[in-house]
Chains A and B, each alone.
Chain A
Amino acid sequence: MSRGGVVVDRGSRRAPDATGSIGRPVATGVLLSLWRAAAVFRVAALLFCGYLIVRWRNLYAEPAVAFGVGAAMLLLTGVVVLVAWPGRAHRLGFVLVDTAGCAALTILTRVAQQPGQFHGGMPTLTSIWGAGAAIEVGLLLGGAAGVLAGVVQFAASVIAREGYDGRTLANGVLIVIVGGIVGYLATAAVRAEHERAQAAADRARLIERDRLTRSIHDGVLQVLGLVHRRGAEAGGEWADLASEAAVQEAALRALITSQELAPTPAGQRSVAADLAALRSERVTVAVPDDPVLLAWQVADEVLAATREAVRNVERHAGDRARAWVFLEDLGDQVAVTVRDDGSGIQPGRLDKAAAEGRVGVAESIRGRVAELGGRVRISSTPGEGTEIDIVVPVDIARGTLR
């Protein structure tokens, strides 16, 4: 249906641009197609109304007024087609003038027709053509405004007929419904189009990421990995270079895997991807393949607690200490373990720090996890490293987690 671009000028659904012709709102994509369809409707409706006017020319009280109204309808339709076709009719001023024009021409029916005619069921001069303005208002401002424009047109025909009968009412209701439905559909179509464009952009980004990842994986990472490996074996200065290469390799790997694009439920994210970013030469991260979804704030806290624990290893466990981060989804709980093979914590050191009023890392982690209703277990053997187990309950019913 849409022959135009898929990009929708979202601003064009708002009030017209104050800057005038420069930056004038232009309907594009699906909206442009709808405007052109509205223009086609106006032409078809005009042909129908014109046919009636010509056919009943001898019956009118004032045939000249009837032809004048017909000429005005022709003019207005021409303007609508010329302006709407390139998408430039999508402006408040334009649709208001059109609405007023349609209503005025409808009211003139009263002058053109005999009282018996406008009381007796002859269609107004504008009949279905008058629905065009309601359609346009719907396109520009949505369903509610479309309904309102339909009501205006209905009111005009009530004036033209000095009241209303069953048929006037039925016609009026139809125009109101058309305005409302067109407005609603236009809004929905624009939204769908926007979402489709978004999805296409996501897909393009994903493909681009894959391409980059592949090329980085096949090239730079392999060489860095090799430098890391060979350098470590060579020792000395080369070992420093190797360790630098390993840091860069881990950073680059974290970079290309961190751009998580998989859709996750609103308000949640997988803490696994965040933890994986902690990987480095000295930090091994083991996570399940399935995403471990947590509410954003919970994920933040768990991540912060884990980061503190890892940083603590880097600071206090000794230069050669390695750390392992292990994430496990236990169904009703999520567990994160940070273990190191460093110097360990001397017995009583944590208690002493707490007694002296110093809030150590352990207390900070405990505090964070306690906020989430979880618990922390710290076990350590001097000379054999430390293990920090963080367990956070996952309560779906409370909605605070997951």
Chain B
Amino acid sequence: MSDEVAGLVASGRAGIRVMVVDDHPIWRRAVERDLVDAGFDVVACVADGEAAVRLAPATRPDVVLMDLQLPGITGVEATAGLVGADPAIRVLMLSSSGEDADVLAAAKAGARGYLVKSAVADELIEAVYRTAAGEAVFSPGLAALVLGEFRRMASGTIADPARLTDRETEVLRLVAKGLTAKQVADRLVLSHRTVQNHVQNTLRKLQLHNKVQLTRWAIEQGMAD
């Protein structure tokens, strides 16, 4: 672990409860070991989404590390189930690049961040820590997906689509080009906190819009008042 990350996590990692959801045993063990070594409190390691949703109320994780490709219910459904039961749960998606549709669906379902599966231990630990601290962990891939989704909403037939502000679009574009949050802050002459807020807002708008759409759909189907 690099000193920077060690310092970062040492300041606040104690007591951060983490659940690991991954169907691959080698991965699960490796990730669990990394997290325990880094001082996180790994409260559960499960192999499928049903177990994650079932165990979440009892184990009360702060962060759920969710592989999106799962047997049984998908990572997207599990994310929706976890966040639906407890909106405070922060789901950090973990998936291989190339599973774009799933990543986008999980982001809409309430996931707080995304990390590619090939990320090294330091990146993983930092991402879990940041997620626990309430930051949105964005990869360039997720930024491009979110931008694309807002573009689709704006050009499509959806009534009153959610829109990004110019600043939010600008921030996401830089993230999609691979700039770190700090580099984005430097380039736009903003504080790191402000950049974080913009990024988080884009996800929040996406999720809120998704909820509105679902509600509207439910009303149209006569399932709600």
A328 and B170 alpha carbons, distance in the complex (Å): 12
Residue of B nearest to A335 (CB): B173
A253 and B98 alpha carbons, distance in the complex (Å): 8
- Stretch touching chain A among B3-11, B146-154, B196-204: B146-154
Instruction: From known contacts A217-B96, A257-B98, A329-B151, infer whether A222 and B144 are also in contact, taking CB-CB under 8 Å.
Output: no
- Stretch touching chain A among B21-29, B55-63, B77-85, B158-166: B21-29
Contacts of B69 in A (CB 8 A): 217-218
Contact B24 A326 (CB under 8 A): no
Instruction: From known contacts A225-B118, A324-B177, A326-B177, infer whether A288 and B147 are also in contact, taking CB-CB under 8 Å.
Output: yes
Contact with A along B52-95 (1 / 0, CB 8 A): 00000000000000000100000000000000000000000000
B104 close to A (CB within 8 Å): yes
Contact A341 B148 (CB under 8 A): no
A221 and B97 alpha carbons, distance in the complex (Å): 11
Minimum CB–CB distance for B37 against chain A, Å = 11
Residue of A nearest to B104 (CB): A289
Contacts of B27 in A (CB 8 A): 222, 225-226
A327 and B151 alpha carbons, distance in the complex (Å): 13
A300 and B50 alpha carbons, distance in the complex (Å): 45
Residue of B nearest to A254 (CB): B98
A387 and B177 alpha carbons, distance in the complex (Å): 9
Interface size class of B (residues with CB under 8 A): 20 to 34
A230 and B118 alpha carbons, distance in the complex (Å): 10
Contact B23 A286 (CB under 8 A): no
Among B101, B117, B140, B149, the residue within 8 A (CB) of A286 is B140
Contact A341 B178 (CB under 8 A): yes
Contact B173 A328 (CB under 8 A): yes
Residue of A nearest to B102 (CB): A289
Contact A337 B177 (CB under 8 A): yes
Contacts of A117 in B (CB 8 A): none
Minimum CB–CB distance for A71 against chain B, Å = 70
Contact A329 B30 (CB under 8 A): no
Contact A286 B143 (CB under 8 A): yes
Contact B141 A327 (CB under 8 A): no
Contact B98 A276 (CB under 8 A): yes
Contact A331 B118 (CB under 8 A): no
A375 close to B (CB within 8 Å): no
B176 close to A (CB within 8 Å): yes
A322 close to B (CB within 8 Å): yes
Q: Which A residues from 182 to 225 make CB contacts under 8 A with B?
A: 217-218, 221-223, 225
Contacts of A254 in B (CB 8 A): 98
B189 close to A (CB within 8 Å): no
B208 close to A (CB within 8 Å): no
Contact with A along B25-44 (1 / 0, CB 8 A): 01100100000000000000
A162 and B155 alpha carbons, distance in the complex (Å): 72
Contact B121 A229 (CB under 8 A): yes
Contact B155 A331 (CB under 8 A): yes
Contact with B along A273-310 (1 / 0, CB 8 A): 00010010000111111100000000000000000000
B132 close to A (CB within 8 Å): no
Minimum CB–CB distance for A271 against chain B, Å = 13
Minimum CB–CB distance for A158 against chain B, Å = 61
Contact with A along B103-131 (1 / 0, CB 8 A): 01000000000000111110000000000
Contacts of B24 in A (CB 8 A): 218, 222
Known: A233-B120, A284-B97, A337-B177. 12 other contacts (CB 8 A): A229-B119, A229-B120, A254-B98, A284-B140, A285-B141, A286-B176, A287-B100, A288-B145, A326-B177, A326-B178, A328-B144, A339-B179
24 contacts between A and B (CB under 8 A): A218-B69, A222-B24, A223-B26, A225-B96, A225-B118, A253-B96, A253-B97, A253-B98, A257-B98, A284-B140, A285-B141, A286-B144, A286-B145, A286-B177, A287-B144, A288-B144, A289-B148, A324-B176, A324-B177, A326-B176, A328-B147, A328-B148, A329-B148, A339-B178
> Which residues of A are in contact with B by a Cβ distance under 8 Å?
217-218, 221-223, 225-226, 228-230, 232-233, 246, 249, 253-254, 256-257, 276, 279, 284-290, 322-324, 326-331, 337, 339, 341, 387
When A and B form their complex, which 10 residue pairs have the shortest distance between CB atoms, in order from nearest?
A: A288-B148, A324-B178, A286-B144, A286-B140, A257-B98, A326-B176, A286-B176, A339-B177, A286-B141, A289-B100
